[in-house]
Structure 1
Amino acid sequence: MNRFAIRCAAGLSVPFLLAACSSAPSSGDAAGAGSGSGEQQVTITVGDRPTSSDPANRAQYDQKVADFQKANPDIKLNPVETLWDPTTFQAQAAGGQLPDVLNVPFTEPQGLIARKQVADLTKVLKDDGLMTQLNPNVLKIGQDQSGNVYAVPTAAYSVGLVYNRDLFTKAGLDPNKPPATWDELRAYAKQITQKTGQAGYAQMTTSNTGGWMFTTQSYAFGGSIENEDGSKASFDDAPSRAALQALHDMKWVDKSMGQAVLYDIDGISKAFAAGKIGMYMSAPDAYRTLVTTNGLKASAFGIGPMPQQSGDHGTLSGGSVQIVSPNATDAEKAAAIKWIKFAYLNKYVNQDAAVTAAKNGVAAKQPVGVPGLPVVAADQYSTYQDWIKPYVNVPLENFAPYTKVAADQKIIPEPPVKAQEVYAALDPVVQTVLGSEKADISALLTKAAGTVNAKLGR
């Protein structure tokens, strides 16, 4: 679910079940006239056009199409409203109704690659020069074991720990040093509660966000949710039990999690912005909602990397990639990469586009320069940051603990199969642990694993 720029949990992570994939017919020359050569026009169908019920974004999208075609007269775009929808994707694929280019979530590329449902883009990315401009750590999401690339990341996030710098200061904690381990997080949460009377820590628990954040926490404890091929639940184990025990002890022993335990993204954001929560797991672009929407003082926002426990295990990541039809010709692949670069990555690789986007953000009174997990390589991202530096209107120093670590922190995708159904099965586990002091953690995990295995085995 791209809830964070993301935003992750609520809808992007459901797998494909059928084996075949085809693409909407394209009028590009199968003989391979080169895009950009002027020899012959290539036509590709591109998805993700907003519907007429969203006129502002539709107009922006259509303008981008027009601008692209003006800059690339030998490429004709046929925009369609097709979006990634796990309930219709396979029927569209089987019926040849998918566009040549489509946005899908991070959870999908490995399955698509295994089923040969996407084009190999390695050569065209190298020819375009885009390969060296992409973040190699994020690019792995769309690569096979040989390093060939089948999906282009265009938006990414990794979960960290958002914290209230004002509450840290009031509690006698250094606001520039968020906890690095879950043991430290527990100690910080207890101190915040004792010194300020507010919940030192809170965690999402409803609308699939409970399972989503428990997955993130389990990863940080060295655990996993599904085995490698997504055929079996793997969370009925020591790391997941330890993660839940930490929540139980913070809630019932330390009493540092407050009374409210039924939070979704919106609810926890509002409570945090109101100064009622010291720390919770989220991604850097939570800044937008907390400050712009919910009125948190910008100076109170802080974020660090995901605390780890008993080793450097990594953190959950998510985002979006662009895929290309496996039936695309070389010329259509080249045209597709040009469109992907122009529509989704332009501001990172083109100074004029970067400056224009930054100016527009400032004019719209939106945060400009919010750090995150970049989809482009470190050098390219640094160049982009230099381009927009005059327009940045967020306190970058408050993101420093995250940015110093997160770029190198291992990223782990969401569960590869039926992630949303898995999250739904885990929601009540987290809710029960936080709602009942005598909850049987092992029994809860065993029961949930049985529920998930039944779904994975369907």
Structure 2
Amino acid sequence: MTTTAIRSTAALSASLTLLAGLVACSSAPSTAGDSGSGGQVTITVGDRPSSADPTNRAQFDKKVADFQQANPDIKLNPVETIWDATTFQAQAAGGQLPDVLSVPFTEPQGMIARKQVADLTKALKDDGLLAELNPNVLKIGQDQAGNVYAIPTAAYSIGLIYNRELFTKAGLDPDKPPATWDEVRADAKQIAAKTGQAGYGQMTTTNTGGWMFTTQTYAFGGTVENAEGTKATFDDAPSRAALQALHDMKWVDKSMGQAVLYDYDGIQKAFAAGKIGMYMGAPDMYRSVVVTNGLKPASFGVGPLPQQGGDHGTLTGGSVQIVSKTTTDAEKAAAIKWIKFANLNKYVTQDAAVTSAKNGVAAKQPVGVPGLPVIAADKYATYQSWIKPYVNVPLDNFAPYTKVAAEQKIIPEPPVKAQEVYAALDPVVQTVLGNAKADIPALLTKAAATVNAKLGR
């Protein structure tokens, strides 16, 4: 999901910064004890944009220069290495990873188990950053003992995007989006009957079908893979119930309209055009729906992900920063300073927060879109107070989400071969929405066999 991390593994969201693909490392990572004259520490940092992206490269290089000016005892060696699922393990085995690298939420637990990343617990405590991070999100990068191996820097959690104008036209309360899937079904039926538009839509293509099926399975209390990532677990009651809900909205209630083959961009265009009442997505889709595709800001609404049969949680994604296991204590400390400066500065420094907000307003971009914060609640509240004069989005429209999202359980995407799993599940969702007589149990059994073959490689 990351035009950078909402598509962290299926359809990336423009507000996060996870990159995809691979550019060869231009130099080897720093070695232990690499400390130039005067005790200077040198670390290699990844994720430098390539020369084919001159604007972002220049911004990155300026950030490097600013950091080094503020920290003359640290030298940064920026390289173009970025995370790629197909090459990461070979890079790790060959010692070709930089000292600092951004990776998606799907990766830390596997890296911790394989002992591929540094334990940052002490360095984070010494820096003071540990106390400033959101403990709920930090779990993504912790082992069972609570030691920290990855620092979350961008996060999202899936909620329910809905059109407040269509809700009003249908006689529904736009300040009270559905909290369960039974309510989603009822509201979708009412929207379709009263407005003639699809009450609910779902992404189904280019791996987004599997991504959203996973999200919905979580909301019904199920899982897609076991904790080890060795076996598919979606051939069970929660997944069948999730698909049955889609089937019944499409074929019994006829509340999903005729179009069912939506990708990430397509569903946002249809939603912005007023053709869909609700769909699953993250709050930062506001940028694409409103700024890019022209929905009136007042019509955008978002609530927490509806649950079914209990408070199960929602899918989360995003990016974390990892540090090479070969780094020294001094290099770990330097790495954390860079991570904080490059990714979290606006949350902990008022000047940086105000500058970022002003730049957003000047660029006519949304400022203040709520989401899943990577910093602790008190720090996030302070950050929001800093940028309040520059907020240009209707915060009340996000209130149903923000009231719940901070406490809602977050569940990472499948830990192994997430994209291949999603690809195997796309046709399952498409078949259910394209054939009223689809055999849901048989579809899931067949897809599970496909996924198990991939996981067993």
- 2:301 corresponding residue in structure 1: 302
What is the one-letter code of the residue matched to 2:28? A
- 1:321 corresponding residue in structure 2: 320
- 1:75 corresponding residue in structure 2: 74
The answer to whether the 8 Å contact 1:27/1:42 transfers is no
The answer to whether the 8 Å contact 2:372/2:405 transfers is yes
Is there any run of 5+ residues in structure 1 with no aligned partner, and where? 14-22
- 1:16 corresponding residue in structure 2: none
After superposition, the C-alpha distances for 1:53-82 in whole angstroms (9 at most, x for unaligned) are: 111000000000000000000000000000
What is the one-letter code of the residue matched to 1:312? D
State the Cα distance separating 1:6 from its structure 2 match.
Answer: 2.6
The answer to whether the 8 Å contact 2:273/2:295 transfers is yes
State the Cα distance separating 1:28 from its structure 2 match.
Answer: 5.9
> Per the alignment, in what secondary structure is the counterpart of residue 49 of structure 2?
coil
Query: How does 1:396-411 map onto structure 2 within 5 Å?
Result: 396-411=395-410
- 2:150 corresponding residue in structure 1: 151
> Per the alignment, in what secondary structure is the counterpart of residue 132 of structure 1?
helix
Instruction: Tell whether 2:451 aligns with 1:452.
Output: yes
State the Cα distance separating 1:27 from its structure 2 match.
Answer: 5.2
Q: Distance in 2 between matches of 1:332 and 1:4?
A: 27
After superposition, the C-alpha distances for 1:255-282 in whole angstroms (9 at most, x for unaligned) are: 0000000000100000000000000000
Q: Which moved more, 1:101-110 or 1:1-10?
A: 1-10
After superposition, the C-alpha distances for 1:93-139 in whole angstroms (9 at most, x for unaligned) are: 22222100000000000010011100000000000000000000000
Query: How does 1:179-258 map onto structure 2 within 5 Å?
Result: 179-258=178-257
- 1:6 corresponding residue in structure 2: 6
Q: Distance in 1 between matches of 2:358 and 2:337?
A: 24
The answer to whether the 8 Å contact 1:4/1:157 transfers is no
Q: 1:366 to 1:113 in 2, by over 3 A?
A: same
The answer to whether the 8 Å contact 1:4/1:285 transfers is no
Is there any run of 5+ residues in structure 2 with no aligned partner, and where? 13-17, 19-26
Q: Distance in 2 between matches of 1:344 and 1:407?
A: 20
State the Cα distance separating 1:86 from its structure 2 match.
Answer: 1.3
Q: Distance in 2 between matches of 1:5 and 1:94?
A: 25
The answer to whether the 8 Å contact 1:28/1:43 transfers is no
> Per the alignment, in what secondary structure is the counterpart of residue 8 of structure 1?
helix
After superposition, the C-alpha distances for 1:316-355 in whole angstroms (9 at most, x for unaligned) are: 0000000000000000000000000000000001110000
What is the one-letter code of the residue matched to 2:376? A
Q: Distance in 1 between matches of 2:133 and 2:28?
A: 28
> Per the alignment, in what secondary structure is the counterpart of residue 343 of structure 2?
helix
The answer to whether the 8 Å contact 2:11/2:208 transfers is no
The answer to whether the 8 Å contact 2:160/2:280 transfers is yes
> Per the alignment, in what secondary structure is the counterpart of residue 39 of structure 2?
coil
The answer to whether the 8 Å contact 2:5/2:317 transfers is no
Query: How does 1:5-24 map onto structure 2 within 5 Å?
Result: 5-10=5-10, 24=28
Q: Distance in 2 between matches of 1:355 and 1:5?
A: 24
> Per the alignment, in what secondary structure is the counterpart of residue 152 of structure 2?
strand
- 2:372 corresponding residue in structure 1: 373
- 1:26 corresponding residue in structure 2: 30
Corresponding pairs, count: 444
State the Cα distance separating 1:89 from its structure 2 match.
Answer: 1.4
What is the one-letter code of the residue matched to 1:66? A
| TM-score normalised according to structure 1 size | 0.95
State the Cα distance separating 1:450 from its structure 2 match.
Answer: 0.5
The answer to whether the 8 Å contact 1:28/1:42 transfers is no
The answer to whether the 8 Å contact 1:24/1:100 transfers is no
After superposition, the C-alpha distances for 1:343-368 in whole angstroms (9 at most, x for unaligned) are: 00000011100000000000000000
Q: What is the aligned-residue RMSD (CA, Å)?
A: 1.5
Instruction: Tell whether 2:291 aligns with 1:292.
Output: yes
| TM-score normalised according to structure 2 size | 0.95
Query: How does 1:51-130 map onto structure 2 within 5 Å?
Result: 51-130=50-129
Query: How does 1:294-443 map onto structure 2 within 5 Å?
Result: 294-443=293-442
Q: Distance in 1 between matches of 2:328 and 2:225?
A: 36
The answer to whether the 8 Å contact 1:348/1:354 transfers is yes
The answer to whether the 8 Å contact 1:3/1:9 transfers is no
The answer to whether the 8 Å contact 2:219/2:314 transfers is yes
- 1:20 corresponding residue in structure 2: none
What is the one-letter code of the residue matched to 1:41? Q
State the Cα distance separating 1:5 from its structure 2 match.
Answer: 4.7
Q: Distance in 1 between matches of 2:273 and 2:11?
A: 28
State the Cα distance separating 1:178 from its structure 2 match.
Answer: 0.1
> Per the alignment, in what secondary structure is the counterpart of residue 285 of structure 1?
helix
Instruction: Tell whether 2:282 aligns with 1:278.
Output: no
What is the one-letter code of the residue matched to 1:2? T
What is the one-letter code of the residue matched to 2:82? L
Q: Distance in 1 between matches of 2:201 and 2:397?
A: 20
What is the one-letter code of the residue matched to 1:219? Y
Q: Percent same amino acid among aligned pairs?
A: 82
Q: Distance in 2 between matches of 1:28 and 1:232?
A: 39
Q: 1:388 to 1:11 in 2, by over 3 A?
A: closer
Q: Distance in 2 between matches of 1:346 and 1:89?
A: 28
Q: Distance in 2 between matches of 1:61 and 1:250?
A: 47
Q: 1:142 to 1:353 in 2, by over 3 A?
A: same
